[in-house]
A and B are shown apart, each in its own frame.
Chain A
Amino acid sequence: MIHSLFLVNASGDIFLEKHWKSVVSRSVCDYFFEAQERATEPENVPPVIPTPHHYLISVLRHRIYFVAVIQSEVPPLFVIEFLHRVVDTFQDYFGVCTEAAIKDNVVVVYELLEEMLDNGFPLATESNILKELIKPPTILRTMVNTITGSTNVGEQLPTGQLSVVPWRRTGVKYTNNEAYFDVVEEIDAIIDKSGSTITAEIQGVIDACVKLTGMPDLTLSFMNPRLLDDVSFHPCVRFKRWEAERILSFIPPDGNFRLLSYHVSSQNLVAIPVYVKHNISFREGSSQGRFDLTLGPKQTMGKAVESVLVSSQLPRGVLNANLNPSQGTYTFDPVTKMLTWDVGKINPQKLPSLKGTMSLQAGASKPDENPTINIQLKIQQMAISGLKVNRLDMYGEKYKPFKGIKYMTKAGKFQVRT
């Protein structure tokens, strides 16, 4: 399946290569570089590139291209999903997935890649199993290893590998038993010029951090499970019980994991938490443009809208922007024409605004289109769909765990057309 993997950085250098079968010359990446040159943006490189003898499937994350070399027919999603899993694992191990981190830990990276694939077919991708095979590097462990000569590599087959619950290792012990669940919802929306909603939907996830001793069996139930329209589960969730009773029943993995992602049915009206008043205009023949933006809260159920960040790609003709924010700071990058305004918290009494002028290239004609405005925001302690967890129970172990549930709403792809 996967023949080789090349890691390419933003400047087009191959800084790591790994082969699972015969060695493939790195010159195969030339086809990739060609495609890269042709693409105007880094994201525009096509994920699948055919070459005379191989196929290149790449993903771009953290400004690193992970280029897999394939020789014959294989579902492309298989490879893409796997590459993303590799990135997730690196992130898990090293905290960040950057060129520097990979280069610093090249041995661990190699050991990981060796375990994750055998002959190009995924072998162990579950982070719990990998962590038993290869312990993540920490400062303390590195020090101990240099002194005692012990290693990061486990000698035994991970217990999870053979059990019916491959995601959980046995013999987990904690002094404080805790289980935290974060319900995070994201609103994807497109708002048109006049402020009416063109499309809006809510996607949510439940991320868990479970640190419980032994083999706990948890059940989590919702007050209003009918809200969930389409769900996808971590493999630990028993699908039958969800089908029958709308209860999440599972033996959790140890540590952090994504329990569930869901989509709230499109029949429900989506509450839009902010509104935008905008007036962006360019006059024909003048080298000035007006920019006027005001944000206000809307349908937030009394919760504060925080960490608001507005960004907009201004037309190419704009040379500079001279704006005046009523709160927060703004930056304008004259090269990429990206305007970002870090607003912070919205105070309903005093609405934040950004006003001023834009200077245009002399003689350039008026841009046809007004820029789109992207908004990011956070609302704590509220799931905008109204989803509520009813209760969490634990079976199979005797102790009393500490349980916590947190709700949050964020803007996903929230765009306002102007």
Chain B
Amino acid sequence: MKVDEHQLCWYFYPTCFFPSELYISQCELYNDDMNEDLKEMLESNKESLKLEAMKRVVGLIAKGKNASELFPAVVKNVANKNIELKKLVYVYLVRYAEEQQDLALLSISTFQRALKDPNQFIRASALRVLSSIRVPIIVPIMMLAIKESAADMSPYVRKTSAHAIQKLYSLDPDQKEQLIEVIEKLLKDKSTLVAGSVVMAFEEVCPDRIDLIHKNYRKLCNLLVDVEEWGQVVIISMLTRYARTQFISPWKEGAMFDENNEKAFYDSESEEKKDQMEAKTYIMDPDHRLLLRNTKPLLQSRNTAVVMSVAQLYWHLAPKHEVTIVTKSLVRLLRSHREVQYIVLQNIATMSIQRKGMFEPFMKSFYVRSTDSTHIKTLKLEILTNLANEANISTILREFQTYVKSQDKAFAAATIQAIGRCATNISEVTDTCLNGLVLLLSNRDETVVAESVVVIKKLLQTQPTQHSEIIKHMAKLFDNITVPMARASILWLMGEYCERVPKIAPDVLRKMAKTFTAEEDIVKLQIVNLAAKLYLTNSKQTKLLTQYILNLGKYDQNYDIRDRTRFIRQLIVPSEKSGALNKYARRILLAPKPAPVLESAFKDRDRYQLGTLSHSLNTKASGYQELSDWPAVAPDQSVRNVEVIEPVKEWAPLVGKAKQRKSDEKFYSDEEEEKEEEGSDSSGSEDSSSSSSSSGEALCLFVCLKVYVFCLVTFILFRVTTPSFGPVKTYELLHHMTGKGLSAKYHFPRQPCLYQPSMVAVQVVLTNSSDHSLEEIHIGDRNPASLNLHCFNTIERLEPEASVTVSMGIDFSDSTQAANFQLCTKDDQFSVSIQPAVGELFMPITMTEQDFSKEQGKLLGMNETSETIAMATANTSSQAISKQVLSVANVGVVSSTQNDIHRFAGRTVSSGALVLVSLEMKESSSALLTINTEKSVMASMLLRDLKQALAQA
């Protein structure tokens, strides 16, 4: 930033020279000028100027310059009509709102309004920005907006609300509980658009609430293929964790390393038998299988992250013999960008340690090319080393020979280490490798030689016998080696095996004594070491040399060396002070030492879940979720059963509740099942009286169902809303005294009727209060005979104290005339009647305020009934009014911009005539109630009911 200003200033004033103070003030002036300019542009009336200014402001933000001064000028434009300008203002707001919280509040009302916009895109972007403004004061507003949007019609808006959950959580973690409720609701969503985002929110907010997943597990598995690719990654990794807690291990005991054992070929028969036996004991949970089956096609995804996540899922969850299917896909990813290769190779490296067999056929894909970058080369080398076995070692070693000559010396050094590892792992080639490495000792490059020495040292340590030749050879080369690490290694070897090279070792020490002062620290330490060991084994020749070296060490600049010298002197040179330890000096210094184990750097990486950041870094990243071990006993599988088949999400809460209540009861009525499911099993009903008609009925039901589905579709199109909630009033149909023990109650569930759209749904609860069971409960004659009634199917038997809920449909033809019919048991008949309240004869609909006014305008004069009514004081809030009105009539609330007018809309069930209710508040708790509908009789009855309800406290 400064640089630019400099240049500009010098540009404007090229000839003058100012003292620094003046210069700075000029800069500020210029800065102010520029901001002034922008401010002016933003405040102008011309849209094009504003847009131009905003574009420049965004340019400033992109460069990381501070543009916060312009906040007031920018925020004014938040309600601008121009969509591009608006978007740029949003960008600005999100960037600076945190710094200018008070001013940011000015913009909130705009978003709140936009949240109600009919255009889903505008609703969604309003929510996006509102939730991105990190101002703690608006947390309640955000919460409300999220809750509302989570129930939005548009899946896109619901998706946005899932994103907003995470934002709100990071702003205010105290909202966790409420947010979990929203997550729970959104998890039930069936839209593929929402699934990925809500699982992401779940992972962020409450990853430990695994219980929320149970019911949605199967749905998520089935939706997975159609979810957008980023969502797939998130869902797969969540399901991996889930599966590890819910299913038992598919890995057979002891079969872990089966593939590395080569015996399988010969005794495959016995193996098979064993397999079969074990297969009997382990049966995979069908849900476990479902997950594996549904993720498999995703291996073909073009998105590398998806492929990797499926691979890790198989690695962590699939039976061992199925994991191999991921190999090809992983190898395919190696064709991708450098960074992708890097991550994939890391994961393959970890996999190849445990499962050589998986990647062995693809060994050639890991051959190094000179154009690969260094970390790719090293990883490939790592994998090749892991894959090496007796069969392929010669090929691999030949390949390594090429690598050793590479111009990339770091890589050449890594290759030497790899050769060392091959040599220790495969005993057949140890000698070959050693000889090869010894040849490398005469290489011209220092790093190569040094690395070889270090590796040879490690190799010799593993099998120190008969290698004195090599040690002699190294001693000869010693003068030419300059790398400290290598020199130190050779000296250590001399000391350790000084008894094998009795003539050479003292000579080396002699040379070292000469150059001691010029050596590096690690070399000095080893010289002291060598001296001590020789003193113990061959004190005759080396006593003086040792004394000399110890004296040199005593006055060394490095305190480590001084310390070591003092320690060694006390240990080996007998004196009065040294005491008992001196006797054991030989055993201390020349103890046989365990050989170093050359193992892969990826050895213990498998403690992290594959494909994670933690795995890639080999440290636990923040927010890493541990993958749990398989449970020993499978947790209850039935938790994933979903009994409720929700017809359409909108009605879900009601249906769900009703159904669950029923299933609790002893008797699970057949009819219920039939009409709620698909009626296909009705032909199997055993009863003689109904079986004759059952197939016809099934057909009828099927037709009904079709009509029903059609209705649902039309309802959705015209946005018929959810049934409004309110306390459900229950009416008595038959008292148990008159019914000889059979009692019946009914209520209006306010759902669209399943059987015919013109019918009103009625739910009847039949209870047997007598001491004997009642049989063949059914509906008999009806009055008037033309009454269109959908009966429930005959109930075969109702045990004492049992009750059953049945639904029926009645077409009241938009009149409050009672429906009279007979309720019969095997022995008795009782006349009963259902008298509907007028409010139950409506269906709610939603409409906008404009539509409402328009429709109201069409229903004036004769069709309008109005009255000024007195309101109970408790009923003056809009919530109370809605509650009262909804308790009386099944209508929908029309959102209103005016506070003092409340509007409700519905249709009559039979004829579909519009019913519009509006309530205009007047002073002193009175209100004007207006009902507009063609059905004037119903209007007056409704008016009476409403008047009564609103007057009540």
Q: Could you tell me which A residues sit within 8 Å of B by CB distance?
A: 1, 14-19, 21-23, 26, 40-41, 43-44, 46-48, 50, 55, 57-61, 70-78, 80-82, 84, 106-107, 109-111, 114, 118-119, 121-123, 125, 146, 149, 151-157, 161-162, 164, 166, 190, 198-199, 201, 203, 229-235, 239, 243, 258, 261, 263, 266, 313, 315-316, 365, 367-369, 372, 374, 413, 415, 417
Contact = CB atoms under 8 A, between A and B. Distances in A.
B124 A157 contact: yes
Contacts of A114: 87, 90-91
Contact of B339 (A59, A74, A122): A59
Interface of B: 47-48, 51, 55, 58-59, 61-64, 82-85, 87-88, 90-91, 95, 98, 119-121, 124, 128, 131-132, 134, 154-156, 160, 163-164, 166-167, 170, 193, 197, 200, 225-226, 228-230, 233, 237, 297, 300-305, 307-309, 328-329, 331-332, 335, 337-340, 342-344, 361-362, 364-365, 367, 369-371, 373-375, 399, 402, 405-407, 443-445, 611-614, 616-617, 619, 621-625
Given A119-B167, A190-B369, 13 more contacts: A19-B95, A48-B616, A60-B339, A74-B613, A77-B305, A106-B59, A107-B88, A151-B85, A157-B120, A232-B300, A233-B300, A367-B407, A413-B369
Given A107-B88, A239-B297, A365-B444, A415 B302 contact: no
- Nearest first, the 5 closest Cβ-Cβ pairs linking A and B are A72-B623, A151-B84, A199-B364, A157-B121, A43-B373
Contacts of A106: 58-59, 62
B84 A76 contact: no
B445 A80 contact: no
A315 B91 contact: no
A152 B84 CA distance: 7
Given A106-B59, A230-B332, A75 B373 contact: no
A87 to B, nearest CB: 10
B709 to A, nearest CB: 19
B611 A230 contact: no
Contact of A75 (B300, B309, B622): B309
Given A47-B343, A75-B237, A232 B613 contact: no
A201 B361 CA distance: 13
Contacts of B365: 199, 201
A348 to B, nearest CB: 28
Contacts of A233: 300-302
Contacts of A59: 337, 339
Contact of A80 (B332, B339, B371, B407): B339
Contact of B64 (A14, A44, A70, A84): A14
A263 B90 CA distance: 46
Contacts of A164: 226
B309 to A, nearest CB: 6
Contacts, number: 243
Contact of A369 (B121, B340, B373, B407): B407
Contact of B375 (A1, A21, A44, A74): A44
Contact of A155 (B59, B98, B121, B230): B121
A144 B332 CA distance: 46
A122 B5 CA distance: 37
A362 B134 CA distance: 66
B616 A76 contact: yes
B166 A369 contact: no
Contact of A77 (B340, B405, B445): B340
Nearest to B167: A119
Nearest to B333: A77
Contacts of B87: 111, 114, 153
Contact of A73 (B124, B375, B612): B612
Given A47-B343, A157-B121, A368-B443, A231 B55 contact: no
Contacts of B48: 146, 149
Q: Which of A76, A77, A119, A201 has the most CB of B within 10 A?
A: A77
Contacts of A43: 338, 373
Contacts of A47: 338-339, 342-343
A411 B579 CA distance: 76
A80 B343 contact: yes
B350 to A, nearest CB: 14
A16 B128 CA distance: 23
A19 B95 CA distance: 8
B601 to A, nearest CB: 14
A308 B42 CA distance: 57
